[in-house]
Structure 1
């Protein structure tokens, strides 16, 4: 297991590289060029510039999260080939600085969805919260306004250029079925995986978050059966999955430990985090500790150990603790505690053999 840490860059993250350097066992930075619109080529000079910032701290930058997919690719529009060509060029540029894994998603319109960014837990910490009934009754524009009320930081996956044309995107997806979305994903992967093989970069799709349809939009990466289907679209070790225990764990029917065993060798990147589920379908993110949530983090780390996992892993969303002012889910302290919990589990399994 190779521990990495997500960082949003100077001026856009209260966590510094010097802070991250003090967390034991972290070897790399998970990064992105967040200001580049989806569909545009990531310029090599910008990538190299960021590398010069990261290198002095001794981190590698082998994991990118994420190179977002233009909506025209997901919709299968005639213009998709132009955006796919741009994506291929970005892959080639990333290969020049040693990138090995690209985390991405294929969720229409929205990336992750929560109804509250700072829901208070019993101990006074706050965390990302999802209220199922509220989403069922919510106008999507209300959700956009919630995000807009957090102006200090960009939100991962919430590209401003997508949000300003939200109404037209909903209209565009009105008649798009899950099967059509699968077809469009297959077309995309058939085009780019040969380029990934050439540059030794693995694609690792992130599951839908939450793992069910919202606002009537199709969602197709929600559980074991459709991850299996995804991996069969292009049967290559360069077509993989970012196995996120928090996203998948929001659905109690998902057996994440079984997925780790089945998909071993096709998981280049692991997001490890915990959520507490409620019977009404709500969930809230918790500490990484198994006992604090509904996801068997101990069993998950054990499964990675047993399958000889040598890919990248990061603590995913953490709580906001100790009064830290930070991006929702991406503070320093709880993710650092999460890393030490994960290392403790890994060391225990290693010691017991």
Structure 2
């Protein structure tokens, strides 16, 4: 596997120089963050980012993400314009020899947590999600903002968009996703780019909004709808694993050769539809991280993998979930499992 690390660009407190010192680190997962959602990514900007990453001895292993415009998710008449822009961005990334794009199809809000600094018994803190707290929150109030969210909406516009989604079924949202894939996957095939849809996080409806990439049934549906190697998934253990009913091994077996990217993190279930993120160690959370890694290796997965959403430890401050220290420990742990399996340690 190609061990990789998420980097948020020059404003990221974690630098490429620091990431370079993590043993076994090969790739950088990043994006261009100053382009409005729906606009074409200029080739010149892509190359500037690539050259900066490569100057530190890395490759760009994945672009995470090229956001999907809300008009595409809503199925509006304007969606073809934004899909055409998405196609051109795929072409521009391919021209820069970038082959993997992670994206999601979550309406309005990206990954959602209710607390960014929930304490753990060892004195560290991490991201957590409490369903009862979400039920009491008003997403229009601005009281809940998280890294990665598109906050460009004005309140009136946000209410209008959310009202549209309230009338939308999950089946309709899935139809809009399939329409999008039918348009962009042929371009991905032509350019030899691999599209990897990220699961909804958490994998259930929030704020009354439909969510569809939630478990094995959805994975089957998406892969079958556009049957192409270039239409694949991001296997995120923490997102799928937040729901105890999801069989992660089942998802791994269903997707097999169409897993194009892996997010590895552990969570501990704390209640119905509630969880807290932990260290990557299998013993610290509710997920069998060792079993997940063994299955990926068994299926011959050699693509990019990144340690995901680390704790904040040793007094580190920075972007919640994206500190240096615990994600570096996570990478070392994952590399240890990989080495042990390859050297026969799984016997």
TM range (shorter): over 0.9
Pair 163,349 (structure 1): closer, same or farther in 2 beyond 3 Å: farther
Instruction: Confirm or deny that 1:160 pairs with 2:151.
Output: yes
Match 2:317 to one of 315, 320, 325? 325
Separation in 1, partners of 2:189, 2:260? 14
Instruction: Confirm or deny that 1:110 pairs with 2:109.
Output: yes
List gaps (5 residues or longer) in structure 1.
none
Separation in 2, partners of 1:99, 1:69? 18
Separation in 1, partners of 2:90, 2:52? 21
CA displacement 1:122-154 (0-9 Å, x = unmatched): 111110010111112221134x3232xx7xxxx
Q: Secondary structure at the match of 1:215?
A: coil
Q: Which residue of 1 aligns with 2:94?
A: 95
Give the conservation status (yes or no) of the 8 Å contact 1:30–1:65.
yes
Give 1:141-290 correspondences, 5 Å limit: 141-142=140-141, 144-147=142-145, 155-156=147-148, 158-162=149-153, 164=155, 165-290=157-282
Instruction: Confirm or deny that 1:68 pairs with 2:67.
Output: yes
CA displacement 1:284-317 (0-9 Å, x = unmatched): 0000000000011011001111111111100011
Instruction: Confirm or deny that 1:40 pairs with 2:31.
Output: no
Q: Secondary structure at the match of 1:26?
A: coil
Separation in 1, partners of 2:154, 2:296? 37
Instruction: Give the CA deviation at 1:62.
Output: 3.1
Instruction: Confirm or deny that 1:337 pairs with 2:335.
Output: no
Separation in 2, partners of 1:258, 1:219? 20
CA displacement 1:189-231 (0-9 Å, x = unmatched): 0000010011111110000000001111110000001111011
Instruction: Give the CA deviation at 1:52.
Output: 1.9
Separation in 2, partners of 1:131, 1:202? 34
Pair 163,208 (structure 1): closer, same or farther in 2 beyond 3 Å: farther
Instruction: Give the CA deviation at 1:49.
Output: 1.1
Range 133-142 or range 323-332, more displaced: 133-142
Instruction: Give the CA deviation at 1:26.
Output: 1.1
Pair 3,102 (structure 1): closer, same or farther in 2 beyond 3 Å: same
Number of aligned positions between the proteins: 344
Instruction: Give the CA deviation at 1:280.
Output: 3.3
Q: Which residue of 2 aligns with 1:315?
A: 307
Separation in 2, partners of 1:55, 1:299? 33
Separation in 2, partners of 1:294, 1:43? 42
Instruction: Confirm or deny that 1:80 pairs with 2:48.
Output: no
Give the conservation status (yes or no) of the 8 Å contact 2:62–2:102.
yes
Runs of 4 or more consecutive aligned structure 1 residues displaced over 6 Å after TM superposition? none
Q: Secondary structure at the match of 1:39?
A: coil
CA displacement 1:218-250 (0-9 Å, x = unmatched): 100000011110111100000000010000111
Q: Secondary structure at the match of 2:234?
A: strand
Separation in 2, partners of 1:298, 1:100? 28
TM-score by length of 2: 0.97
Pair 229,163 (structure 1): closer, same or farther in 2 beyond 3 Å: farther
Q: Which residue of 2 aligns with 1:135?
A: 134
CA displacement 1:3-40 (0-9 Å, x = unmatched): 11110001x20100011111111111101011111101
TM-score by length of 1: 0.95
Separation in 1, partners of 2:90, 2:227? 19
Separation in 2, partners of 1:298, 1:62? 23
Q: Secondary structure at the match of 1:243?
A: strand
Separation in 2, partners of 1:162, 1:28? 33
CA displacement 1:306-337 (0-9 Å, x = unmatched): 11111110001100111111100000000000
Separation in 2, partners of 1:124, 1:263? 37
Give the conservation status (yes or no) of the 8 Å contact 1:29–1:61.
yes
Give the conservation status (yes or no) of the 8 Å contact 1:276–1:284.
yes
